[in-house]
A and B are shown apart, each in its own frame.
Chain A
Amino acid sequence: MKIYNGGKILLGLIIFGALFASPFYLNMGKVSAKPELKIDTPEIQKLEDKKCVEPKEFMRAEHMQILNSWRDAVVRNGDREQIIISGHKYEKSLQNGCMKCHSNKKDFCDKCHNYMAVKPYCWDCHIAPKEKKS
């Protein structure tokens, strides 16, 4: 059997195969480290009782649902009931609630979102607190 232009076709196939598989061999052996979130901002360290609105595991998995329900409650229903944890009152708000303690967006939000390649559009409108050097 004869392949017309066999050399060029084979070369092309090899180049295609190499490019196609490049993500696999380029990342071989590199274990991308699990993101470690920092929850030791000065604001949190000041707190006596370091508690979020829900337990850590719940927040890790469901924080977007909480934010969505807060958004609907505040914007659509005008329900600004505050949340009390150990005597402290917190607003149902990303910008004026969550980020008042978690003032490190880069080490708190972005780290995980980048790792998971999710791009929430919160920060198109909401203003993140100024990053402090830590």
Chain B
Amino acid sequence: MSMNRREFLKIAGISTIAGIGGTALAGGLRKGVLEAAQAAPNTDALTEKRWGIAIDMSKLKSEESIKRVTEACHRIHNVPDFSNTKDEVKWIWTETFEHSFPGQEHKFMAEDMKHKPFLLLCNHCDNPACVRVCPTKATFKRSDGIVMQDMHRCIGCRFCMAACPFGARSFNYKNPRLAKNLQEYMNPEFPTRTIGVVEKCTFCYERLAKGLKPACVEESNGALVFGDLDDPASEIRKILASKHTIRRKPELGTEPNIYYITGGNDYAVVPEIR
């Protein structure tokens, strides 16, 4: 069969129009079939630019109040407790001043400050070292500043644990479900982790999505204040503007977003001078 150019162009043109028209028509027809469900935007969620927490150490008076905070967190997030430091999984934990802020201690500092347990958690840094080193992007920075951990992607290489200068990450050396506390109680609304992944504090992203404050903030009776560091009118910014605060290892340049108010006034035991 021979075909001249005019005939070829005619056929090509008609089949192009038929092709475009056909797919549009088929797509239009299919719409009603596939769209079985509607979607409702989540309007409860607390969304901000840069979440941060200010911890007022003077308001965390007793060991019990600190324990209440850590236990609330570990309970709702199914954090296993193997009662040995090697297998320990920490989301929020305590450490002495000397170990929390190395280099800032001195021999004349207040006795109670020296021995006071400081509440530590993931700093959700602006320049997170853990995110830089993660080879699978299992850990990543969300747009609201939370350093998130995607357990589905974690391959357990532990680079992030080596990179994090705050010791905020823990490896699951054992199957967490074998821990005694998880065999007794597991929060059915939150997953556990599996053996061989790294986990840490997630700033309660699942609670923020429901419009709730992080569990530690809620349990702390006002000792922990959380808010948006990018919003000059937020409570946390007012606190940071009015009180002297310190951060853990700021010299490393990771820009931690957890601030500590260590001003003595409230709880320092000043020896009476006569």
Contacts and interface: CB of A to CB of B under 8 A. Distances in A.
Contact of B144 (A53, A78, A80, A121): A78
Contacts of A18: none
Interface string A106-134: 00000000000000010011110100000
Given A75-B148, A76-B150, A125 B192 contact: yes
Contacts of B143: 78
A50 to B, nearest CB: 13
A44 B61 CA distance: 50
Nearest to A81: B39
B80 to A, nearest CB: 12
Contacts of B144: 78
Nearest to A99: B188
B99 interface: no
Interface stretch (B40-48, B89-97, B127-135, B223-231): B40-48
Interface stretch (A4-12, A23-31, A33-41, A83-91): A83-91
B191 A125 contact: yes
A67 to B, nearest CB: 10
Which of under 10, 10 to 19, 20 to 34, or 35 or more describes the interface residues of B? 20 to 34
A96 interface: yes
A26 to B, nearest CB: 35
A89 B209 CA distance: 15
Most A CB atoms within 10 A — which of B42, B192, B194? B42
A90 to B, nearest CB: 8
A15 to B, nearest CB: 41
B151 interface: yes
B191 A53 contact: no
Nearest to A96: B189
Contacts of A125: 151, 191-194
Given A75-B152, A80-B45, A89 B192 contact: no
A96 B38 CA distance: 18
Contacts of A80: 42, 45, 209
Given A75-B150, A124-B194, A127-B192, A83 B45 contact: no
Contacts of B188: 95, 127, 129
B242 to A, nearest CB: 32
Contacts of A129: 188
Interface string B40-65: 11100100000000000000000000
Given A80-B42, A121-B194, A51 B36 contact: yes
A22 interface: no
Contacts of A127: 78, 186, 188, 190-192
Nearest to B148: A75
A54 B151 contact: no
A79 B148 CA distance: 14
A102 to B, nearest CB: 15
Interface string A34-69: 000000000000000001011100000000000000
B241 interface: no
A20 to B, nearest CB: 36
15 contacts: A51-B36, A54-B36, A54-B37, A79-B42, A80-B45, A81-B39, A84-B37, A84-B40, A85-B36, A85-B38, A95-B190, A125-B151, A125-B192, A127-B191, A127-B192
Given A78-B142, A83-B38, 20 more contacts: A51-B36, A54-B36, A54-B37, A55-B36, A71-B152, A75-B148, A76-B150, A81-B39, A84-B37, A84-B39, A85-B36, A85-B37, A85-B38, A89-B40, A95-B188, A95-B191, A124-B194, A125-B192, A127-B188, A127-B190
Interface of B: 34, 36-42, 45, 78, 140, 142-144, 148, 150-152, 186, 188-194, 205, 209
